[in-house]
Amino acid sequence: MMVLLFAAAVIGLVFLLIVLAPFFYGEGGSLQDASVTDSVGDLEARQDAILRRWIRDEQSAAKGEISSTEWTQRQRYLTSRYVDSTRRLAWLKAAKAILFVCALLAGFSPREARAQVTRAPKQLLVLKPGLDVVHGTWVVAIMNKGQAPAKFRTPVLMPLEARDFQPIEGVTADEVKFENDGLWVEKEFPVGVNVVSFAFIVPSSLGGSLLSLKPRADTGELMIMTPKGMLDVSGKGFVESGTDVEEMQRYAVLSSNHLIVAGEELSLRVDGIPEGRGRLWLVGSVFGLLLVLIAGVLAWRSRPRSSVVAV
């Protein structure tokens, strides 16, 4: 009897692994590889490679080296990849324009105006949906009013849940300092307005994510921008706001309704994130567990009964 129970458990476990294996070992992530890169150069190179591949395959189809069906399939694939690259490239170029517009509109307080190098009392978070993640960009403007480059130090404002980051604008890896309380930027800023930005990734679960922020310096006003219709962002202390800046008309904007100070705890709820396999994993796990339980119950109820009667 115990052997039968053990065999039923082994068979149930093997079946469970077969059912769940595709969820864990299949290809994951987004097919749009271009949707996650932050390099304009890489995207332009990818577009050039796609065009060269199109011309080469078109010539192969004209010579009869590939069938018309295969050529049609390649056309669809290459078109999709080119569209992905174009969309991401347009996003990056628009975002860069927005950064400079925000920097110029940020303004500096009278107290800060006395200093040679100051940080604008307005910072920006741009949020964009990915597959089971939120792609974010933090932006701040640094003004050097002196006559020569000057050293300045500022903390990086990033969600505590961020699992990865990358400097994008105005800073190199050597100018990023890792300290006990987080990331800092320390560099010599040229004269004029300098835009500093970092990209980061925050994981999500079942289409939602919570972003926790705790500034280490007075931030002033914090603006949250998302492409209209793509994400639902809300948070205590933030209200919807509009703008007359042409480059920002395609984005929904939230602004803090007060000046944010160092140490203040902020929380943003982000919904509407495209889901990957998380929900399938949950359903598959529950289904597999039920199969194992049912197999065990059936094995127990169908076990051989002893026909020997004690005298």
pLDDT tens across 37-57, in order? 656 677 788 888 888 888 888
Stretches where the chain sits below pLDDT 70 are 1-9, 12-13, 15-40, 91-115, 242-249, 305-311
- 259 and 136 in a common domain: yes
Assigned token pair, 236: 């205590």
- 161 and 20 in a common domain: no
What pLDDT sits at residue 307?
57
In a domain, 224, yes or no: yes
What pLDDT sits at residue 93?
65
- 143 and 194 in a common domain: yes
What pLDDT sits at residue 9?
64
In a domain, 174, yes or no: yes
**Residue whose token pair is 């105005």:** 170
What pLDDT sits at residue 150?
87
- 285 and 232 in a common domain: no
| Residue 100 and residue 168 in contact, taking contact as beta carbons nearer than 8 Å | no
In a domain, 82, yes or no: no
- 126 and 160 in a common domain: yes
In a domain, 102, yes or no: no
CA distances from 304 to 12, 257, 299, 308 (A): 20, 73, 10, 12
Q: Distance between CA 252 and CA 258 in Å, rounded?
A: 19
Assigned token pair, 117: 């190098």
- 204 and 177 in a common domain: yes
**Does residue 81 sit in helix, strand or coil?**
helix
pTM assigned to the model: 0.62
Q: Distance between CA 70 and CA 66 in Å, rounded?
A: 6
* Residue 156, C-beta contacts closer than 8 angstroms, at least 6 positions apart: 138, 165, 176, 182, 183, 184, 185, 198
- 128 and 249 in a common domain: yes
- 249 and 177 in a common domain: yes
| Residue 52 and residue 82 in contact, taking contact as beta carbons nearer than 8 Å | no
Kindly provide the b/e burial profile for residues 56-91, where b requires at least 16 CB atoms within 10 angstroms of the residue's own CB: ebeeebeeeebeeeeeeebeeebeebbebbeebbeb
Q: Distance between CA 125 and CA 145 in Å, rounded?
A: 25
- 161 and 125 in a common domain: yes
**φ/ψ (deg, to 5) at 309:** -105, 125
| Residue 161 and residue 210 in contact, taking contact as beta carbons nearer than 8 Å | yes
In a domain, 240, yes or no: yes
CATH number of 165's domain: 2.60.40
In a domain, 231, yes or no: yes
In a domain, 220, yes or no: yes
What pLDDT sits at residue 38?
58
Domain that holds residue 293: 2-27+281-301
What pLDDT sits at residue 245?
56
In a domain, 209, yes or no: yes
- 291 and 164 in a common domain: no
DSSP 8-state secondary structure symbol assigned to residue 216: S
Report the number of distinct structural domains present in the chain.
2
- 220 and 289 in a common domain: no
What pLDDT sits at residue 30?
38
Q: What is the DSSP string of 245-258?
A: -GGGTTEEEEEESS
- 144 and 22 in a common domain: no
Q: What is the DSSP string of 89-148?
A: HHHHHHHHHHHHHHHHHH---HHHHTSSEEE-SEEEEEEEE-SSEEEEEEEEEEEE-SSS
What is the layout of strands, in order, in the sheet containing 232-234?
A: 208-213, 266-271, 232-234
What pLDDT sits at residue 301?
78
Q: Distance between CA 135 and CA 164 in Å, rounded?
A: 10
